[in-house]
Structure 1
Amino acid sequence: MASIQIRKYRDDDAEAVKELFALGMSEHVPSTFMHLLKQPLTQMVLMCLFCALMASSKSFLLPILAVTLFLAGARQFVVYMFNSYIDTSLRKDVSKIGEAYLKQKDSGFWVAEVDGRLVGMVGCLPNQDAPACLELKRMSVRHSHRGMGIAKALCRTVADFTRDRGYAAVVLYTSVVQTDAQKLYEHMGYEKIREFVIPELVAKITNFTLFEYRLDLQRDGGEK
């Protein structure tokens, strides 16, 4: 059985953390693309495109080619959106963990090591909308090391830190396509308290829903 160590972030973890974050986010491209294809607007566009070209060309070849190109373009658009989010997140906080987390009051960042290799990470910060809560952020576990309890250990680390700092709860945000994350958080006692679509045109068109979860803590140890 591999030995799992949860420890505080160090400066020499920077490159491994950035790589882990980018890989973790890129994994959601296929599920996001499938989510896009399931939307009524996408299906309507595909149907209209196919029927219009079928009626005008009297051939199956052109409509099929056009739909194929549309799907390829849609997938590249999803890739572009995730790459943009990764780049923005790297600039915002992932590339400067020390400044964004370790130097801030009631904030922290931890990594998980297995046999000396960094395989997981998580951070937390005070939540701007709920002063009594800390927000769990940047949770990620390397795909090859899932199923070992690493994510649960990282969740417990944040919960313990939050309780020790005197906060009432942990909150977090995850998306409709992150089904494994939703199952994990619910297993750890988190409750879904809100779902919403971010106020951006692309998110509204694709119905890209975010979920807010909350874990209420007891002051004498343990979750409710």
Structure 2
Amino acid sequence: MLACCMPIFLLGMRYYYSRKIILNHLECALHTDMSDIEKYYMKQPGSCFWVAVLDGKVVGIVAARGNEEDNVVELRRMSVDSSYRGKGIAKALGRKVLEYAMLNHYSSIVLGTTAVKIAAHKLYESLGFKHVGVIENYSVPGMTHSLLEKIFFQLRYHRYCLQLHEE
């Protein structure tokens, strides 16, 4: 009986902690930059925010945040509604950030992601990004760093860079 129940228990714990951390992370995002998109992305020099709309419905978003000192723009907050994935919306949003970076003479675009879906990583590579590193056991805002969290939920933070031109 124990041998049958243990995998179900472990999967349940993994699901519980994954959901808890993701919801906490989203809650934190909704109280920082996503609570005031205009302030963080529309009024900040070198920053911008795009929304993909299809049939009057918001189906995707992406932001760019420029760093004038390093002449780098960071691709941030790329997200597409799950029912609209695989339709080229994320690629179009990514290209918008590339276009923005080139028009504003940035030397490169960087991004970081905790995405576990292979499709997300393939998307970045199809846009020309190169994988430049990974941070194991990454923590996001909203994590409590409890022992159970560490056992049942671990994140990898992947970094990507797209070199547009040399300085």
1:81 to 21, 39, 42: 21
* 1:175 partnered with 2:124: no
Residue 176 (structure 1) shift: 5.3
Q: Which amino acid aligns with 2:26?
A: I
**Which 4+ stretches in 1 moved above 4 angstroms?**
198-207
* Distance change in 2, residues 1:155/1:203 (3 Å): farther
Match of 2:97 among 155, 158, 161: 158
Structure 1: how far apart are the matches of 2:135 and 2:150?
10
Give runs of aligned pairs for residues 33-44 of structure 1, distance below 5 A.
none
Q: Which protein is bigger by CA-based radius of gyration? A: 1
Equivalent residue runs for 1:37-116 within 5 Å: 61-116=1-56
- What amino acid is aligned across from residue 15 of structure 2 in structure 1? R
Shift of 1:94: 1.3
| Aligned position for 1:31 | none
- Higher helix fraction: Structure 1 or Structure 2? 1
Distance in 2 of aligned mates of 1:209 and 1:98 = 30
Give the direction of change, closer, same or farther, for the CA distance of 1:203–1:167 in structure 2 (3 Å limit). Answer: farther
CA deviation map 1:46-72 (0-9, x unaligned): xxxxxxxxxxxxxxx244334433431
- AA partner of residue 209 (structure 1): R
Report the counterpart of residue 125 of structure 1 in structure 2: 65
Residue 158 (structure 2) pairs with residue 211 (structure 1): yes
Letter paired with 1:163: M
Deviation of 1:147 after TM superposition, in Å, equals 2.7
The normalised TM-score by structure 2 is 0.82
**CA deviation digits over 1:10-33, x for unaligned, max 9?**
xxxxxxxxxxxxxxxxxxxxxxxx
> Distance in 1 between the 2:59 and 2:92 partners?
12
Partners of 1:204 and 1:168 lie apart in 2 by 40
Measure how far apart 1:189 and its partner are.
0.7
Q: Provide the alpha-carbon RMSD of the alignment.
A: 2.4
Aligned length: 158
- 8 Å CA contact 1:109–1:122 kept in 2: the answer is yes
Tell me the amino acid that sits aligned with residue 104 of structure 2: R
Q: For 1:101, give the aligned amino acid.
A: Y
TM-aligned CA distance change 1:213 to 1:161, over 3 Å: same
CA distance in structure 1 between the aligned counterparts of 2:159 and 2:22, rounded to whole angstroms: 20
How much identity, in percent, do the aligned residues show? 32
Unaligned runs of 5+ in 1: 1-60, 220-224
Local SS of the residue matching 1:105: coil
Measure, in 2, the Cα distance between the counterparts of 1:142 and 1:76. Answer: 23
User: How high is the TM-score relative to the length of structure 1?
Assistant: 0.63
* 1:148 match: secondary structure: coil
